Amino acid sequence: MTTTDTDPKSTTEVAVAARSKPPKKSRNVLRGLSGPLIVLLLVLGAWYLVSYAILDPDRRFLMPPPHKVITDGLFGPSAQEMWEALGRTTVVALTGLAIAAAIGITWAVIMSQSRMMENALFPYAVILQCIPILALVPLVGFWFGFGFSARVFVCVLIALFPIVSNTLFGLKSVDRQMRDLFALHHPSRMTVLRKLEFPAALPAIFAGLRISAGLAVVGAIVGDFFFKQGNPGIGILIDNYRSRLQSEELFASIILASLLGVAVFWFFGWLGNRVVGRWYQPT
């Protein structure tokens, strides 16, 4: 019987080194954040350069410095109405996105069941994507009024196509060998859809939802510009600040609207990773 002697000092040094070395996941997070932070600093530097070195003091309202946007805009007298308007815009965007998701996924499922249905319905999805919103404003006002319903309709119209196209792509991209394996058991069409096609299409569906989430925020703000009845959203405030030359509030409201789009986009990315990230790894 043999024994192996270990040096307590070397064991301690290895343990201390292992504790002092940052985890790999933490290093990856820091590496991922360094790029955006560097770009942010460059943008802020260019912003200050334009505000103080290029613009004259009497024209500085065209691009107020970042600290003025924060102090006078985000935390100024108009801050409360901005946050309230942002909340209303969020409700409009999420409502429109939910309706677009329900319609778009159903539409794609119907088209995936036969080539004839795809040829009959897909051109109209493309047409809806290509219609200019300005051309539909009078009709939308006649049909839905000029308040909440009209803004939601604009969100649905803008956010619908990515969900339809991505869901259809995912449903039709199921591996041929998996289809053959299912065919051996002679399942019904609904069983194939429920147990094979829809689970396989989930990554594409969440990719479409991420795209449509940002578009729904854009649609809510566009709807605010066109339909100004009822409680104001962030788009109405942007238009009001523009007309009053309140540049700090204008920039602050634009930043809030952009952060809303980023937050909704990030949420659906996180949700997609939670749902399909354990078994799906993009190549």
In the predicted structure, residue 184 carries a pLDDT above the cut 90: no
Residue 213's nearest CA partner among 158, 254, 148 is: 158
CA distance 89 to 74: 17
- Give the mean pLDDT of 116-139: 84
Q: Which residues lie closer than 8 Å to 21 by C-beta, 6 or more apart?
A: none
Contact 206, 247 (CB under 8 A): no
Model pLDDT for residues 151-180, shown as the tens digit of each residue: 899 899 999 999 999 999 988 887 777 777
Confidence of residue 148 (pLDDT cuts 50, 70, 90): confident
CA dist 167 and 177 (Å) reads 20
Angle formed by the axes of helices 133-144 and 198-226, nearest 10°: 80
> What confidence tens digit (pLDDT) does each residue in 6-34 have?
455 454 554 444 455 555 666 666 666 77
pTM higher than 0.85 for the full model? Answer: no
Residue partners of 173: CB distance under 8 A and separation at least 6: 200, 201, 204
Q: Determine the Cα–Cα distance for residues 101 and 179; give it in Å rounded to an integer.
A: 26
**What span, in angstroms and rounded, lies between the C-alpha atoms of 132 and 219?**
12
Contact 187, 130 (CB under 8 A): no
Can you tell me which residue has the tokens 């897909």?
Answer: 122
3 or 116, which is more confident: 116
- State residue 233 phi and psi, 5-degree precision: -95, -175
